[in-house]
A = this chain, B = another copy of it.
Amino acid sequence: MSKQPASLKEYLKERKKIVDDALDRFLPGEDRFPPLIFESMRYSVFAGGKRLRPVLCMAAAETVGGDIERVVPVACAIELIHTYSLIHDDLPLMDDDDFRRGMPTNHKVFGEGIAVLAGDALLTEAFHLMSDGEILDKVAPEALLKTISEVSTAAGFYGMIGGQVVDLESEGKDADMETLNYIHRHKTEALLTVSIRAGAILTGASETDLAALSAYGRGIGLAFQITDDILDIEGDKELLGKDTGSDKAHNKVTFPALLGLDGSRKRARESIDEALSNIAHFDDKADPLRMIAKFIIERKS
């Protein structure tokens, strides 16, 4: 499974297909009762995401010489957590967004009550995927518990949810770099980094390799958030599948607001260089992680 891909585009497409197929297998269909919850969950899960977190999880497993098949259920679980967070963040009581990835947001289609429940169900099912089913044949129980613990921390009050709380609280206020860093590190970086760590933990990486991969995760996490902020200003609405200018409309604190556009681009490049230097000692099995790092700042959506 670890043959070198011809190009980044081909690599991402192949990996996205592995994830999409697995998600389709793991998520019950609308033939199950009550159909509405499965329709709502599937609407958002299959809305065309890049599957960046699962792809990173698999690439980290490959980097340390592991088999990507072993990490697919956990990679999918993390994608479910990412999707739940988008559904809840888009609610009128949170960011109040009507479109995502070119489609109406979950609550615009299914109503706010079902959208909350679909998010709750995706979060809950993520932990089911990490504790039962095919993963049990592939990974030692201790490594699974460590993964569940790390993922729940990254998604919880000291991670993604903590970041969203501070994001909500800082709307419309003059926020400083310290606040911006807190929001980004918790809201975005925590789940990206744990995707990489999980791939490595599940395939038996050493503590040294784990530390190097975590540093890589922090580097691409910062670059990812800065690029998101830049795209919200000068991105192509068609490619993004949503309106630009949303950060400004919500009075959100962003990197371009504090560093300017040029300063932000410079910071993103430095952060990617830092990420790459942390995985420089790995052999060519880390090439996918190297390609993804460059993709993070070059992407148009």
Residues of A bordering B, CB below 8 Å: 28, 33-34, 36-38, 41, 84, 88, 91, 93-94, 111-114, 116-117, 119-121, 123-125, 127-128, 130-132, 136, 141-142, 144-146, 148-149, 152-153, 155-157, 161-162, 164-166, 168-169, 182
Contacts and interface: CB of A to CB of B under 8 A. Distances in A.
10 contacts: A84-B120, A91-B116, A117-B161, A117-B168, A123-B123, A124-B156, A125-B152, A128-B149, A128-B152, A132-B152
A244 to B, nearest CB: 23
B114 A165 contact: yes
Nearest to A125: B156
Given A93-B112, A113-B93, A141-B142, A169 B34 contact: yes
What is the oligomeric copy number?
2
Contacts of A123: 120, 123-124
B165 A37 contact: yes
Contacts of A114: 165, 168
A37 B166 CA distance: 9
B169 A36 contact: yes
Interface-centre pick from A93, A116, A127, A142 (highest chain B CB count, 10 A): A127
A124 B164 contact: no
B149 A37 contact: no
A182 B165 CA distance: 35
Contact of A148 (B94, B148, B166, B168): B148
A94 B113 contact: yes
A27 to B, nearest CB: 9
A265 to B, nearest CB: 30
Given A121-B157, A141-B144, 17 more contacts: A37-B165, A88-B117, A91-B116, A93-B112, A94-B116, A117-B165, A119-B120, A120-B161, A124-B156, A124-B161, A125-B157, A128-B148, A128-B153, A128-B156, A131-B145, A141-B145, A148-B148
